[in-house]
Copies of this chain bind each other. A is one copy, B any other.
């Protein structure tokens, strides 16, 4: 039996994602498709445009058989932490045979070579990396130069790792290696617009779609089933949610934590805390705030992730532990009728507790061999993230706590 595992955000789901899903299925010919998806906060350091249950529903309507939540501590990390959390979840199921990821290339041989360097960190790799970091390059850039130097004789285009999707792909491969996973990795070439392009082509970028939603423009390139869900969420007053909506809260948190408090958190090194405190003094909206923090070394995405770390008080130890031990539970967000079969199989074979009912969380932990304190911290973070996200809903009457107590979506 072939089971395809995919890692998604669907923020929102568009025809590019449909293309990816169809192409992956043609490649793997799976019996079932399972997905791991970011919850209410996504890898670009932003709140998702609509709630995770609605996005899970989009996925199910688009052909995913069962969808699981990537714990927030991974979903808002950089490529490496995000990929590790997601791959570890897929691997924990003990049923997934293949993963397929989009990348700018489908040259899996080269990507694998690079991934090996990243995982194995040979001496020469370490030396060069140190050298470039000392020269003041950011970590991603230093790493790219290092890999480029090491593979220069191989006549391969190491510029590939410049693209964000290739970076993620590399990290997926590296995580599979780290976990000694038996899952077969596959890469397919992305079609359509490049990651940050903000025009709506036939195949849009999620960024372009979010912009169109913000500007209340007509949405093209989004499948009908997704569009209906999106419109339902918006008209119910539960969205759309944007980064801007976090401004009041980050202002309050930055003020209260001040530099010393921020420096206790994950990711606040290299003067980031000071920059954030200083930027706050003269910013009247999120955009101004982020621009004032921006340096060559800190991309907007890195800064936005740190905004979330500040809002949620994400401690260094917690992230370190999570990155060492991996996710401690497998949270089911939704499934199709067909998906019930694969769910049963996952439930039997999964190395982590399968959580389909939040109120049984503690009981579920006891049955498996997990790091219980870490599991509780990860889960508590997810619940807080949901409750906080709920407070951002446009309509007051929708701001009800404990949305996570609802049953998984079933279609």
Partner-B contacts on A (CB < 8 A): 248-249, 251-252, 255-256, 258, 280-281, 284, 311-313, 380, 384, 387-388, 391, 396, 399-402
Chain B, Cβ-Cβ closest to A313: B256
Q: How far is the CA of A402 from the CA of B255 in the complex (A)?
A: 11
- Find out whether the CB atom of A312 lies under 8 angstroms from the CB atom of B256: yes
Closest chain B residue to A387 by CB distance? B255
Within the complex, which residue of B255, B258, B388 is in contact with A256, where a contact is CB–CB below 8 Å? B388
Residue of B258, B280, B284, B384 touching A255 (CB-CB under 8 A): B384
| Shortest CB distance A84–B (Å) | 26
**A256, A258, A380, A400 pick with most chain B CB within 10 angstroms:** A256
Number of copies of this chain that the complex holds: 2
Cβ distance A186 to chain B, nearest Cβ, rounded Å: 41
CB neighbours (8 Å) of A400 from chain B are: 281
Q: Which residues of B are found within 8 Å of A399, using beta-carbon distances?
A: 284
Q: Contact between B255 and A252 (Cβ–Cβ < 8 Å)?
A: no
Is B396's CB under 8 angstroms from A255's CB?
no
**In the bound complex, CA of A313 to CA of B261 (Å):** 12
A402/B313 contact (C-beta < 8 A), A252-B249, A255-B388, A384-B255 known: no
For A396, list chain B residues within 8 Å (CB).
284
Cα(A401)–Cα(B258), bound, Å: 13
Flag if A251 contacts B391 (CB, 8 Å).
yes
Q: Closest CB-CB distance, A232 to chain B, in whole Å?
A: 23
Given A256-B384, A256-B388, A388-B256, residue A281 in contact with residue B401 (CB < 8 A): yes
Contact present for B258 and A384 (CB under 8 Å): yes
Q: How far is the CA of A313 from the CA of B253 in the complex (A)?
A: 11
* Complex CA distance for A370 and B384, rounded to whole angstroms: 42
Bound Cα distance from A396 to B247, whole angstroms? 13
**From B280, B380, B391, contact of A252 by CB (8 A):** B391
Contacts of A387 in B (CB 8 A): 255
Closest residue to A388 on the B side, CB-wise? B255
CB atoms of A252 and B388 under 8 A apart? yes
Residues of B within 8 A of A280 (CB): 401
The residue of chain B having its C-beta at the shortest distance from the C-beta of A255 within the complex is B387
Asked if A402 and B281 sit within 8 Å, CB to CB, the answer is: yes
Residues of B within 8 Å of A312, CB to CB, are: 256
Closest to A260 in B: B380
In the complex, residue of chain B having the shortest beta-carbon distance to the beta carbon of A248: B248
CA distance A391 to B391 in the complex (A): 20
